[in-house]
Structure 1
Amino acid sequence: MFSAFTLDRRRFVQATGLAAVTGLVAGSQASAADEGEEEQTEESDQEQQGEQTQQAHQGPPVDAGDVFDHLDQAAISVFARDIETGDVIADSGSERPVQPASTAKLLTTAAAFDELGPDYRYETTVGVVGDRRNQRVVESLGVVASGDPDLTASDLEALAAAVADAGIERVTDRLVVDVSAFDDGEYPPAWTLGDAVNTYGSKSSAFVVNHNEAEITVSRQGDTCEFEHTVEPDSGLVDVEIELECVDSDRFVTITTPNHWTNTAEVNGRMVPDDEATASVPVATPNEHAARVFARALADEGVEITPGGGGPEPEIEITDVPIELTEEVATHESAPLSDIAEGVNHWSYNMVAENIARTVAYEREGTGNGSWSVWEAYLDETLAAAGAETPQIRDGSGLSRHDLASARDVVSMIEWGLDADWGEEFYGTMAVAGEDGTLRNRLGDVDATIRGKTGSLRGVTCLAGVIEDDGEPATSFAVLAANLTGERANGASPRVDELVTAIAEESG
């Protein structure tokens, strides 16, 4: 697809000087016919100059003011240009830094591909810590977590099965989980408490299971006012408090978590007979949660952790000090980073984006430095190299309220990514409008294929990406609208789509 695609970012300047007059007759006088041709040539050149001057005064062909009638009352930054020629198609406040919201995930993806490569894979390794007493008994079992953001309960079950297949039946001391890949941060700078109690704000951690969410299902059996509940995956750490009213009609159920520091889910509302409700909540202690899910998977495989003769719960140690495995037993390898990033940019998984950012930091700096401060410094360098001039990005997801970038910054980073060796993989992570991801219900009636990334915060609506022409990236664009209130906030997405449609029509 990219075989004939290059990004030279050339800027063409048309000549405005008068054409050279030819056909002069030797001697001091020219014929009347020659004089007439010269006058016509001068008039033609003057008309051409006038047209060029008029076009320059008119500005780019797409005017954001035609859609956003309140440019002076909001923070709106719009930029679009032809990738090959550099011709500007739209430019309104293009150098104004505003909140980019989740369009920042495109920056994260490009920077991570540049540092790690699209084929990078996470590894989660299980092995023996200390002595192996005999074929069946080991002193301790260790897990070296790497921040794999896509690790699932099924993956942990497969690791547990591999431990059992290795002949291990008993652990006499403890399960030790090495989470030293990341520092002890859980949230990037300037996330809010409102984010923390929602699944879109799940904590970042080195040991992950199911995006650090727990799915709660509550059911009412028949006409009785009795309720049952399940937690998946079940670590034994998540408590469910049910405060439901039994009714015959007017059903309403909420499943929420009241705070981000305890593993408690609250179920409130009204349930009718034979009713069921399901929702996911963020886990407050993700490393511990994942460790206990793994311990239960080991028990299901017949591997017992029985320190001091046994007890009701296995002893688990979470450590930020690297552990030494005396014997590696099994390793789970993730999908390539390109696949993980596709999920990020299609469905806007914030925790996954944060783990990718921290992985870049860890791989650059080593153990214990998988931090947002290291990531921020690296991203600053990468953005500058890409030609972005005004950004301040503090996290990997764009959820930080401290993030700022202009439309030109975002477009520069997109073009830089497309022009890289991994440009095709980067391009493939973007959702297709009208087909998939968060763009599946948007811009489907536009003739051109549009790939991009949405972004949304309170008062912020953004869209950035690429418009195709004959299967090739032809136009890069970013529409970042912030400080929106009232009806202008509620109707922002259709306005953004209208502007992107105009850009697509002009670029075609």
Structure 2
Amino acid sequence: MKKILLFAFLLFDVCLVGALNPGIKHFVEAPNFKGSNLAVLVKDIKSGKVVLDYRGEKSLMPASNMKLITTATALELLGADFRFETPLEYDGTIDVQGVLHGNIYIVGSGDPTIGSAVFNDHDFIKRWVDAVQKTGIKTVLGHVVANVSAFDKEVTPPDWTWENMGNYFAAGVFGLSVYDNMYAIHFKTGAPGSTPQILGTTPPMYEMVFHNMLKAGKTGEDDDDGYLHGAPFSNERYITGTIPSNREQFSIHGDMPNPPLKLATLFTEKLNEAGIAVSGAPLDEMKNSDNHTRFFVHQSPTLAEIVKETNMQSNNLYAEHVFKRLALINNAVATRDEATRIVRDFWKQHGADVSTLFQHDGCGMSPMNGVSPRFFVDLLSYMRTQSKYKDAFFKSLPVAGQSGTLKKLLDGTPLAGKVMAKSGSIRRVLCYSGYMELGNKEYAFSVMVNNYTGSSTEARKVIEQLLLSVR
């Protein structure tokens, strides 16, 4: 009897929403969504009327839609004009010959943009060296120390999957970062099936040990299917998969095992090159000392600019650092648990139902994350109608058919240029949450699909048909 009642309920559910909107029927009955977890909510922002709701309270894996929560919360709590600051300090004394009897400290607070290719910040180290020269320091009888004490030592969430660890898109979250916490490893490839030759890395990563199990792919295949595997702080990386054959040079990217130490090493090298001799080896552990003198402060781009990169290009590194930086609002040391609490408390205080929010990271890679379309729509509605920073948030979103990760979505349809949203995709997960403009109406929407079959392109086309059915 219970099975019959359950079946009857599900049948009624599908038929009801199908009667309300033909797009939902097509969405629910799509062959590649058979057995999938599906949830949809669409709401008219101005009237508050829900025009489409299919299991909108259901909590599903959001993938990179999680970045909407991270960036919206950061804008609300830190402000669009917020900038990460990285002070340079020294301790000890400077004698009349310009000898520093002490150490130089790089004091981190989680800035992910130092030396970042995104903002073409290539000259930062020259500015740092110039700042040291202006102090009158000519010799350092001590060390360059990377002070990362603002962040705890859990640099990657423990529930990230092993297949991601070691790749650039799963780089760790450190109090100090440099060069997007990644490096390129260059190969020369030969015939299909052969092992590519490692040519080197950019920047140089002499400390790394690579176990090369990579193979050149089949003739005519240009896909990059090469991966690196390894843990934070470990200098060993295993390289697997395939890359195109018969190339003079082909590159893939990995994560830096210890960016703070890399940054301290780089600064030491550039000081020595500039004629400021540093006697000690670079360190990534804080030395006990008092009476630091601050002589320079490196500033990041504004949070609005960082949020735009995060959402437009789905930048995991930026999302994770912004997320963890939230924990420093009320704490001396940032932890993932504290950042999660801050996010949850903020949205609960602003009327969102957080019972369907299960957050384990800031970027959405954790398979433990769970969010409902209802939560996303509530957040999106708030950011559009009540947020002081609504313009910065809105402008950070890719535009369907035009920009960022939505360039292919709805391209060539009447909704091209009229949907501003964040995509979310990992294996068997595809989600879109954002805004839709139809005439004089504006909708907040969230469409979430978990465990679809077939290709992501096929899944995307079904979602497009659903969005095109909204009136």
Question: What's the TM-score once normalised by structure 2's chain length?
Answer: 0.83
State how far apart, in whole Å, the 2-side matches of 1:461 and 1:245 are: 30
Give the match for residue 284 of structure 1. Answer: 257
Decide which of 274, 277, 281 is 1:304's aligned counterpart: 277
Describe how 1:77-476 pairs up with structure 2 within 5 A. Answer: 77-134=39-96, 136-138=98-100, 139-152=102-115, 154=122, 155-219=124-188, 229-234=199-204, 236-240=206-210, 256-261=227-232, 262-265=234-237, 275-307=248-280, 314-319=281-286, 326-365=292-331, 367-368=332-333, 370-384=334-348, 385-389=350-354, 390-418=356-384, 419-448=386-415, 449-469=418-438, 474-476=442-444
Structure 1 residue identity aligned to 2:299: E
Q: How far has the Cα of 1:255 moved from its partner? A: 5.5
Deviation per CA, 1:221-275: give whole Å up to 9, x if none: 9xxx99673322235433456678999x889887643322423456677997771
Q: Secondary structure of the equivalent of 1:338? A: helix
Decide which of 13, 28, 31 is 1:68's aligned counterpart: 28
State how far apart, in whole Å, the 2-side matches of 1:362 and 1:226 are: 44
State how far apart, in whole Å, the 1-side matches of 2:76 and 2:160 are: 26
Q: How far has the Cα of 1:300 moved from its partner? A: 3.0
Structure 2 residue identity aligned to 1:68: V
Structure 1 residue identity aligned to 2:309: G
* Cα separation, partners in 2 of 1:380 and 1:125, compared to 1, 3 Å: same
Q: How far has the Cα of 1:341 moved from its partner? A: 0.8
Decide which of 491, 494, 503 is 2:458's aligned counterpart: 491
CA contact (8 A) 1:80 1:88 kept: yes
Give the match for residue 5 of structure 2. Answer: none
* Cα separation, partners in 2 of 1:217 and 1:63, compared to 1, 3 Å: same
CA contact (8 A) 2:23 2:465 kept: no
State how far apart, in whole Å, the 1-side matches of 2:336 and 2:38 are: 27
State how far apart, in whole Å, the 2-side matches of 1:62 and 1:125 are: 58
* Cα separation, partners in 2 of 1:414 and 1:324, compared to 1, 3 Å: farther
State how far apart, in whole Å, the 1-side matches of 2:133 and 2:187 are: 33
* Cα separation, partners in 2 of 1:121 and 1:271, compared to 1, 3 Å: closer
CA contact (8 A) 1:239 1:264 kept: yes
State how far apart, in whole Å, the 2-side matches of 1:473 and 1:179 are: 48
Deviation per CA, 1:169-222: give whole Å up to 9, x if none: 32111112211111111112521111213221111111101221111223589x
* Cα separation, partners in 2 of 1:219 and 1:185, compared to 1, 3 Å: same
Structure 1 residue identity aligned to 2:451: N
Question: Mind listing any 5+ residue stretches in structure 1 that lack a counterpart?
Answer: 1-55, 308-313
State how far apart, in whole Å, the 2-side matches of 1:238 and 1:337 are: 33
Deviation per CA, 1:337-371: give whole Å up to 9, x if none: 01001111011111211111110111222x22x11
CA contact (8 A) 1:235 1:292 kept: no
* Cα separation, partners in 2 of 1:190 and 1:271, compared to 1, 3 Å: closer
Deviation per CA, 1:448-474: give whole Å up to 9, x if none: 41111000122111001001356x881
State how far apart, in whole Å, the 2-side matches of 1:105 and 1:331 are: 28
State how far apart, in whole Å, the 2-side matches of 1:133 and 1:226 are: 54
Larger Rg, first or second structure (1 or 2)? 1
State how far apart, in whole Å, the 2-side matches of 1:494 and 1:96 are: 22
Structure 1 residue identity aligned to 2:308: E
Q: Secondary structure of the equivalent of 2:260? A: helix
CA contact (8 A) 1:157 1:298 kept: no
Q: How far has the Cα of 1:395 moved from its partner? A: 1.4
Q: How far has the Cα of 1:435 moved from its partner? A: 1.5
* Cα separation, partners in 2 of 1:351 and 1:257, compared to 1, 3 Å: same
Structure 2 residue identity aligned to 1:131: T
Question: What's the TM-score once normalised by structure 1's chain length?
Answer: 0.77
Q: How far has the Cα of 1:135 moved from its partner? A: 5.8
Q: How far has the Cα of 1:439 moved from its partner? A: 0.8
Q: How far has the Cα of 1:303 moved from its partner? A: 2.5
Structure 1 residue identity aligned to 2:428: G
Q: Secondary structure of the equivalent of 1:426? A: helix
Q: How far has the Cα of 1:115 moved from its partner? A: 1.0
Q: Secondary structure of the equivalent of 1:90? A: strand
Q: Secondary structure of the equivalent of 2:91? A: strand
Sequence identity (%): 22
* Cα separation, partners in 2 of 1:250 and 1:161, compared to 1, 3 Å: farther
Q: How far has the Cα of 1:317 moved from its partner? A: 3.8
Question: Mind listing any 5+ residue stretches in structure 2 that lack a counterpart?
Answer: 1-15, 117-121
Deviation per CA, 1:373-424: give whole Å up to 9, x if none: 0111111112322423421112111111111111111110111122211111
Q: Secondary structure of the equivalent of 1:348? A: coil
Q: How far has the Cα of 1:100 moved from its partner? A: 1.1
State how far apart, in whole Å, the 2-side matches of 1:171 and 1:84 are: 62
State how far apart, in whole Å, the 1-side matches of 2:99 and 2:221 are: 53
